[in-house]
Amino acid sequence: MRVLKIIAKVIVGVLLLAILLFIGLYFYSKQKFPVNQEKYPHYIGYIDQERAQLNDVYTLCDGNRILHVHHGAAEEGYAGSKKRFRDNILANYNNDGYTDSGYLNFRFLVTCLGKPGWFETIQVDTNYKPTQFNPEMVSQLLELTALPEHWNSLNHQEEPLDYYMYVSYKIENGTIAEILP
């Protein structure tokens, strides 16, 4: 009797595992949340080459494999260090009487050769509402951010490839208060 109970429990357990595995494979194969390709034709993080700034600087080394899609490369993307990047930006940035405050965000790609381009600019005020900063200030920070000496070439599994990066400038009355990440 005891043996039959143990066998029954094992059989029920195996059946439950098989059912869960089947359900998981079904949802994986059918995509629980289908994507409307008409409404969302691109992947998350896509930068439109037609609207991007500095989009004619280069071509990607391997356009099908771009690393750090969602969050950017962060620390390993900076040539030398983030401190060196920050020091260089602060030493060369010239506040020509700008009074803007908010966040100036640059999302961009860096090739396997360490060359940045395809910049997408997002400008928000201190309440995170879309805004337009002084165009000269934006242009100056874009030029400083886009200097190739600021960026590393990165490898993945010993192969150099392209990666996403982002830099956010916290601006207070035209002065750079912080550089993120």
pLDDT-derived band of residue 61, with 50, 70 and 90 as boundaries? confident
Read off the pLDDT of residues 153-166 as tens digits, 9 standing for 90 and up.
877 777 777 888 88
Read off the pLDDT of residues 63-103 as tens digits, 9 standing for 90 and up.
556 665 555 556 666 777 888 889 999 999 999 899 999 99
Distance in angstroms (rounded) separating the CA atoms of residues 151 and 71: 16
Per-residue confidence (pLDDT) for residue 126, from 0 to 100: 92
Averaged pLDDT, 113-124: 85
Averaged pLDDT, 147-154: 82
Q: Which of 32-36, 40-44, 121-125 has the highest mean pLDDT?
A: 121-125
Return all residues near 52 (Cβ < 8 A) that are at least 6 apart.
108, 117, 118, 119, 120
| Residue 169, pLDDT above cutoff 90 | yes
Environment class of 19 (CB within 10 Å of its CB; exposed 0-12, middle 13-18, buried 19+): exposed
Burial letters 140-177, b for 16+ CB under 10 A, else e: bbbebbbeeebbbbbeeeeeebbbbbbbbbbbeebebe
Residue 148: asked if its preceding bond is cis (omega within 30°), the reply is: no
Distance in angstroms (rounded) separating the CA atoms of residues 54 and 146: 9
- Decide: helix, strand or coil at residue 176: strand
β-pair type (159-172, 154-156): antiparallel
Q: Which parts of 17-93 are beta strand (E)?
A: 66-67
* Among 73, 44, 43, 67, residue whose Cα is nearest residue 159: 67
Per-residue confidence (pLDDT) for residue 92, from 0 to 100: 94
pLDDT, mean over the chain? 80
| Residue 134, pLDDT above cutoff 90 | yes
Residue with more model confidence, 159 or 5: 5
Residue 109's Cβ-side half-sphere holds a number of Cα atoms within 13 Å equal to: 29
